[in-house]
Amino acid sequence: MTDSSESRLPPRERGRPLRLRGAGPSSSADPADGAQEDREDAPPPADSRSKASTWLLTGIRYVLPVGVTLCGAVIMAFGSETDLEGGASIVSAGLAIYFLNWLYRIGVTGDRERDTEEAARDYFARHGRWPS
């Protein structure tokens, strides 16, 4: 690997993170304009995510499946034979909610990995070396 002094990139682009296709700033001669565009195009920091959306995601991903599963287990524990079958169905519904959330997160992660790989390939095509 080469250090930043041996890099073939212009000084303005050294150390800059990879950008996804279509997300980069337009080429500008003025570095100050590029810095302004970088701030506009950059995703908001993780801290700016509202607490309400964080609680909502946590509730849907974990609290809802656990709550449904526990309700099914309580019905199974304190009910009759028919309640045992119904409680087992409710437990399986809670597990299904959890695993559907899990499958969705895996799918989204795969999309992010493909986008990162595509950005790295574009960088390689432009600069002739794989990004570090």
DSSP the chain: ---GGG-SS-TTTTTPPP--TTTSPPP-S-HHHHHHHHHHHSPPPGGGS-HHHHHHHHIIIIIHHHHHHHHHHHHHHHS-HHHHHHHHHHHHHHHHHHHHHHHHHHHHHHHHHHHHHHHHHHHHHHHSS---
2-21 per-position pLDDT tens digit: 554 455 555 555 555 556 55
The reported pTM is: 0.54
78 or 14, greater pLDDT: 78
Q: Where are the domains of the chain?
A: 51-132
16-75 per-position pLDDT tens digit: 555 655 554 544 444 444 444 444 455 555 555 688 889 998 999 999 999 999 999 999
